[in-house]
Amino acid sequence: MQGGYVTPSPVEYKGFMAPQGSIPSPCISVCSIDDATGFCRGCFRTTQEVAEWPYADDGWKAEVLKCLEERKAEDRRK
């Protein structure tokens, strides 16, 4: 730590570097996939989105977060 600033550790995945902790995971530790939708019952992500999250850039994460809001709203309408 220099000057009170901690540099995030990068994650290397298939040659791609992404800082850890840039946009936090939406996981709420209710990890169960709904067979009908394919979404996690806790965070509404797909298994692919869960797997890619640690390696993705902030632009991708922001897009996924928008989708999650839509999925949650649809789920509440059921």
Q: What is the pLDDT of residues 2-54, one digit of tens each?
A: 444 443 444 444 455 556 557 999 999 999 999 999 999 999 999 999 999 98
What pLDDT does residue 34 have?
95
Q: Domain count of the chain?
A: 1
Asked, for residue 52, whether it belongs to a domain, the answer is: yes
Asked, for residue 1, whether it belongs to a domain, the answer is: no
Asked, for residue 57, whether it belongs to a domain, the answer is: yes
HSE value, Cβ hemisphere, 13 Å, CA-based, for 20: 8
CA torsion 41→10→63→59, rounded to 10°?
170
Domain coverage including residue 44: 14-77
Asked, for residue 55, whether it belongs to a domain, the answer is: yes
Contact 50, 40 (CB under 8 A): yes
CB within 8 Å of 30: residues ≥ 6 apart: 40, 41, 42, 43
Asked, for residue 36, whether it belongs to a domain, the answer is: yes
Asked, for residue 6, whether it belongs to a domain, the answer is: no
Asked, for residue 4, whether it belongs to a domain, the answer is: no
